[in-house]
Amino acid sequence: MSTRASQFSARVERRDELSPHLVRLTLSTEGFASTGVPDEWVGLVVPGQFQSRYYTVRSYADDELVVDVVRHEIGLVTEWVVREDCVGSTLTITEPKGSFDPPADAGWLMLVGDLTALPAMARIAETTELPTRIWAEVADALPDYLPATADVTWLDPPPGEHSRLAEVVETVAWPEGPGYFWMAGESAQMRAIRKHLMRDRRLPSSAYDVMGYWRASSGRQPRAVDPGPIWRAGKAQGLSDDEIWAKYDAAPDEHEARA
Ligand SMILES: Cc1cc2nc3c(=O)[nH]c(=O)nc-3n(C[C@H](O)[C@H](O)[C@H](O)COP(=O)(O)OP(=O)(O)OC[C@H]3O[C@@H](n4cnc5c(N)ncnc54)[C@H](O)[C@@H]3O)c2cc1C
């Protein structure tokens, strides 16, 4: 029987605006244990709410956990994080999970994502020894956010559209030999890329990890589906990463599932 806590309480110690759309929160917490997987995420429940939203652990050391939160036009966490007086609040965070898992023979990494994926791409690039290429679709100027060891292409988000990352991936040149492709961002773009990787590039599912981090909609997201249980159940059933993330994308809202 596991005696590990699955939820932790965390206090917001600092709030720093890294750019117009990215807010860094430094949290103090006790008993948290990182998985060490560089794209690990936690669920975060802000004061007065019961739904969680998922955030990458940008770093964790000495009971200090850092998350970088994107401000959207509207949103449950967005509305809380824009307030400077969020410092001092107590949050609930869930047990971390990660899915980045390159094969042993990978000779390179390709990382693709939008601003919500930037924390994970930074942590992956900081911790790998593999040559790494990154495509980051980000409106804000964050020139020092990604490590200088990575070969980075900054892309402007298309005006009036959420993302054009799927189109970008379909046109980039791929390195020779075995490697690992990691991508996260808007779910419809991610579904398109999974199809491209499977049908056009014919990659085995062990060679990539593509995650829908958010869904385009016109209001606060009513859904909050924890990727953790879907990930664990999928692994237990022997499903490929691709099949697991397709299940995540198709999962009903938790409140709908209860209704
Ligand atoms: C494994 C995982 C790791 C993640 N890591 C991070 C991270 O480190 N930092 C981070 O900021 N986010 C991260 N996300 C994404 C984040 O959970 C979602 O963007 C979440 O919806 C934001 O919550 P909110 O309460 O601000 O907005 P919500 O109430 O969920 O949504 C409000 C509105 O904003 C829109 N919206 C949500 N996300 C975006 C977006 N990216 N761009 C434009 N519109 C958007 C929705 O469509 C909706 O209309 C991660 C998601 C997953 C699954």
Q: For the segment 188-203, what is each residue's pLDDT rounded down to a tens digit?
A: 999 999 999 999 999 9
| Ligand 1 atom with the shortest distance to the CA of 78 | 26
pTM as predicted: 0.86
Q: Position of tokens 């994502």?
A: 113
Q: How far is the CA of 2 from the centre of ligand 1 (A)?
A: 31
Q: What is the pLDDT of residues 160-179, one digit of tens each?
A: 777 899 999 999 999 999 99
Where does 74-226 have alpha helices with state H?
A: 76-81, 118-127, 165-171, 187-195
Retrieve residue 51's tokens.
């739904």
For ligand 1, atom 15, name the residue with the nearest CA: 213
Cα separations in angstroms, 13 against 5, 57, 85, 151, 240: 22, 16, 11, 33, 39
d(C-alpha 224, C-alpha 229), whole Å: 13
For ligand 1, atom 24, name the residue with the nearest CA: 75
State the burial class of residue 212 (Cβ atoms within 10 Å of its Cβ: 0-12, 13-18, 19+).
buried
